[in-house]
Amino acid sequence: MIKFIASGFYSGYLPKAPGTWGTLVALPLCWLLLPYGLEKLGWATLICFVVGWYCSHVLTLDPTADPDPSYIVIDEIAGFMLTLLLSMFLLRIEPTVLLSLSTFSLKIWGSVFIAFRIFDICKPFPIYRIDEYLASTTTWRGFGVMIDDILAALPAAGLVWGALTFIF
């Protein structure tokens, strides 16, 4: 059950770019949560982070194991959720706007997806340093697996805000 959850319903085992597959799993999850409001999406993001931390910790306990196995994609799910939540907050968008699947809402979904993937893959300073440090400690590996994606959500949401405010 831990691998099922950590791998995003086994999407992390799909060939090529497991992080992207995991992020794609987050799309319908967020869409299903949006009718309940931003507060519920926030709580779901926090729960996803805590559950992901636990699952990642269990799966990386062995000191010889990969400190951040590619099949673990719950971090991408939590990171995407936070990017969406922060983007909606910064843009002052109501959840119903994203449920409409209008041209504007599709720009938001696409922008959040692309911005999050960019920052998750690139891991700009200081994210990559934090990731490296936590990967080197067995005790904090599970936290490290999760926190780099949470940190990537911050500049990603800023990029979405900037793009949608000044470009579109």
Q: What pLDDT shows up at residue 168? A: 65
Name the phi and psi angles at 42, rounded to 5: -65, -45
Report the distance separating Cα 99 and Cα 35, nearest Å.
8
Q: Could you give the CA distance from residue 17 to residue 32 in angstroms, rounded to a whole number? A: 24
Residue 9 lies in a domain: no
Structural domains counted in the chain: 1
- Quote the domain boundaries for residue 105: 17-167
Is the CA virtual torsion 75, 117, 85, 127 positive or negative? positive
- Residue 11 falls inside a structural domain: no
Helical ranges in the chain per DSSP H: 2-6, 18-33, 38-59, 74-91, 95-99, 103-122, 127-135, 141-162
pLDDT at 78: 98
pLDDT at residue number 108 = 95
Q: Evaluate whether 116 touches 79 at the Cβ level (below 8 Å).
A: yes
Q: Report mean pLDDT in 10-residue bins for the chain, 168 residues.
A: 96 95 97 96 98 95 85 97 97 93 92 98 91 82 94 98 88
Provide the residue type at 140 as one letter: W
In this prediction, residue 63 carries a pLDDT of 81
Residue 6 placed within a domain? no
Residue 145 lies in a domain: yes
Q: Would you state the pLDDT for residue 135?
A: 80
Residue 1 lies in a domain: no
Question: Does residue 5 belong to any structural domain of this protein?
Answer: no
What residue type is assigned to position 54 of the chain? Y
Predicted local confidence at residue 162, as pLDDT = 95
pLDDT of 115 reads 98
* pLDDT at residue 72 in the model: 96
Of 111, 103, 106, which Cα lies nearest the Cα of 87? 111
Nearest to 149 by CA among 167, 134, 138: 134
Q: Does pTM top 0.85 for this prediction?
A: yes
